[in-house]
Structure 1
Amino acid sequence: MSKNKLTPPPIVPREKLDFDLDGNIPKYWLDNDPFKTRFFDAMSTLFPVGEKFFITCVRDYKDQITDPKMIEDIKDFTRQEAQHSMLHTRYNNRLKSHGIGVDAILEGQERRLFGIIRQHCSREFTLGITAASEHITAIMADCFVERPHIFNGADERMRALYVWHAMEEMEHKGVAYDVLVDIAKSSYLNRIGSMLLVTALFPYHVFRIMKHMLQADGFSSWQRTKIWAKGLWWLYKPGGIFMPMLGKYFSYLKPGFHPWQEPVVPSYEPWVRLLKETGDPVEAGNRLHADLTQGMAHA
């Protein structure tokens, strides 16, 4: 199915990490910018139910899997996703104090993913949604980590949270895809159709939640218009958040695609080493960010 597959790094569940998410994190923790902050905050509210959905869709096929390596990968994938869900839930609980309707957001997503999609779509298609989502989160993680200017002015705890999440997304980026192709024997049409659905629904729901957040923040209609205009340019301008990701996004559409045709980012190994040295994800994130920033300055 795929050519030139690389050897992936081990999937390492990292549990009991302390990001001090109960500390005095500023409301607009990313560059004191409402749009940038709420963009990441909106994604954070989607993670807990989304991670549960991904785990469920992969587990649909566990009884058909006999390969010990794949069984172990799924176990470690599940543990990583469960940690992501737990820590983003802890942060999301802070958002409630901002007047954000977190519970309603979670209930709506639960209804859409489990009450509608899981009820009306085939298991093959829902696994396709999972593999597509994992591809998008992995390339977004790649984008955020390797371009340190995106997190300039970020609270160190939140930056560390997203760097950790990003590194683990890259470690397990092939798990759902392997189950989709090797076990579910997905058709190309199923793989592409599920990706197109994710491509449409992911930004729609992120923007819908951001709209609620900015309203809850008390910005006037005119203020919100200016925030959206400036923020959408930040997302979609040449060299912005999304444009550099397009090549890797479209690679998913190739018939012979596999996630491990693309290696982990260069900063992966340094981050693993720094985390091992410090035992502190925030300190590891700070040192990695400083090293990446310095490297960009000398480039």
Structure 2
Amino acid sequence: MTPLATSAAVSDATTSASPSGLTVRKLELDLSQGFERHWHGGDAFLSQYHNALSMSFPVGEQSFIDAVRDCAKLLPRTPEHALLHEAAAQFIGQEATHRHIHGLYNAHLEKQGLVNRWQHWATARIEFAHSRNVSPRHMLAVTAAYEHLTAVLADFMLRHDTTLDKAEPKMQMLWRWHAAEETEHRAVAYDLYNAMQGNYAWRVRWYIYALLVFSFDSGRQTVLNLWHDGTLFKPGTWWGALKYFWGRNGAIWHVTGPLLAYFRRDFHPDQEAYTAPEQQTRGIAQRWLKDNEKSFRVVR
């Protein structure tokens, strides 16, 4: 059984009619009235860090859509690849919904006076890659790398991040929905890269690139957000950052191992340390989606 087939097999059959196990959903969330400036439990750092992540998504997810679509076109439409083609189509649908909702999210951030530089940094890098005729397979390797990064962050958010419990309810909903769907489709770009005969050396090179770029861009956009927010130099801001990353249940302790796992030659996104399905991130994501199914509409 292929990794993708395994993913589909463990998916809750009630959540998807797609053979790939992926479902395209439209989140029924009204952002027209916006949200508080410090929507994350009143914490300036947590609010502006997550806002920074949101700022990257519309451009980033469009590039992921393009990379998967371009490589799927090159993959023969044979029976052995049928499930992967279906997964690619569903991946594109999910990422398109994420791009849309974060576009609405980011529009409200502009009204709050924040300035989205990340979208321009990302656009410039993508345009440079196209100008140098970087191959679709390399763009897919970058996508697979970022998909692993987001899947690891999604695992932390769904499994360990209790700070989100204090956030505004609609923002809790938005971020956990996004995390659940990132968990669902975490293996698609990776499996497609392997099907395109992508090699280990380039997979790792592009992953190092993604780690460095993500760390740098997320840091400088967060600092920029805090500057415009007027909280950059307040001690409480950086105390919140220290607790989030390095506290007793901080992100660093939970994400470092999974991030390093990508360097293994035998790595696959659906491999997990938890053997019981209900303890795996995929199982947690499926339970959350089932418990909150009234908050979204299934598109396909």
Q: TM-score range by the shorter chain?
A: 0.7 to 0.9
Instruction: Out of 40-49 and 133-142, give the one that drifted further.
Output: 133-142
Q: Which runs of 5+ in 2 are unaligned?
A: 12-20, 273-279
User: Percent identity of the aligned residues?
Assistant: 27
**Partner Cα separation in structure 2 for residue 127 and residue 4 of structure 1:** 17
- Following superposition, the deviation at residue 139 of structure 1 comes to 1.4
Q: Quick one: which amino acid aligns to residue 208 of structure 1?
A: R
Match of 1:228 in 2: 238
Match of 2:15 in 1: none
Q: Quick one: which amino acid aligns to residue 154 of structure 1?
A: A
Match of 1:7 in 2: 7
1:11, 1:171 within 8 Å by CA — same for their partners in 2? yes
Q: Quick one: which amino acid aligns to residue 137 of structure 1?
A: T
**Partner Cα separation in structure 2 for residue 269 and residue 109 of structure 1:** 31
**Cα separation, partners in 2 of 1:242 and 1:117, compared to 1, 3 Å:** farther
TM-score by length of 2: 0.84
**Partner Cα separation in structure 2 for residue 109 and residue 4 of structure 1:** 29
**Partner Cα separation in structure 1 for residue 129 and residue 143 of structure 2:** 12
Match of 1:201 in 2: 213
Q: Which runs of 5+ in 1 are unaligned?
A: 282-299
**Partner Cα separation in structure 2 for residue 254 and residue 173 of structure 1:** 17
Deviations 1:37-83 (A, max 9, x none): 11100000000000001111112212222222111111100000000
**Partner Cα separation in structure 2 for residue 115 and residue 157 of structure 1:** 34
- Following superposition, the deviation at residue 111 of structure 1 comes to 1.4
**Partner Cα separation in structure 2 for residue 12 and residue 20 of structure 1:** 21
Alignment counterpart, residue 30 of structure 2, candidates 11, 20, 26: 20
- Following superposition, the deviation at residue 98 of structure 1 comes to 1.5
**Cα separation, partners in 2 of 1:269 and 1:222, compared to 1, 3 Å:** closer
- Following superposition, the deviation at residue 109 of structure 1 comes to 2.1
**Partner Cα separation in structure 2 for residue 55 and residue 253 of structure 1:** 24
Alignment counterpart, residue 171 of structure 1, candidates 173, 184, 187: 184
Kindly report which structure 2 residues correspond to 1:45-124, keeping only aligned pairs within 5 A, or say none: 45-65=55-75, 66=77, 67-102=81-116, 104-112=117-125, 114-120=126-132, 121-124=134-137
Aligned length: 272
- Following superposition, the deviation at residue 127 of structure 1 comes to 1.2
Match of 2:51 in 1: 41
2:244, 2:251 within 8 Å by CA — same for their partners in 1? yes
**Cα separation, partners in 2 of 1:3 and 1:178, compared to 1, 3 Å:** closer
* CA-atom RMSD in angstroms: 2.2
Instruction: Out of 143-152 and 207-216, give the one that drifted further.
Output: 143-152
Match of 1:292 in 2: none
Kindly report which structure 2 residues correspond to 1:193-272, keeping only aligned pairs within 5 A, or say none: 193-219=205-231, 222-223=233-234, 227-262=237-272, 263-272=280-289
**Partner Cα separation in structure 1 for residue 291 and residue 218 of structure 2:** 32
- 1:133 aligned onto 2:146: yes
Q: Quick one: which amino acid aligns to residue 106 of structure 1?
A: Q
Q: Quick one: which amino acid aligns to residue 286 of structure 2?
A: E
1:144, 1:150 within 8 Å by CA — same for their partners in 2? no
What's the secondary structure of 2:39's corresponding residue? coil
TM-score by length of 1: 0.84
Match of 2:14 in 1: none
Instruction: Out of 29-38 and 244-253, give the one that drifted further.
Output: 244-253
- Following superposition, the deviation at residue 133 of structure 1 comes to 0.6
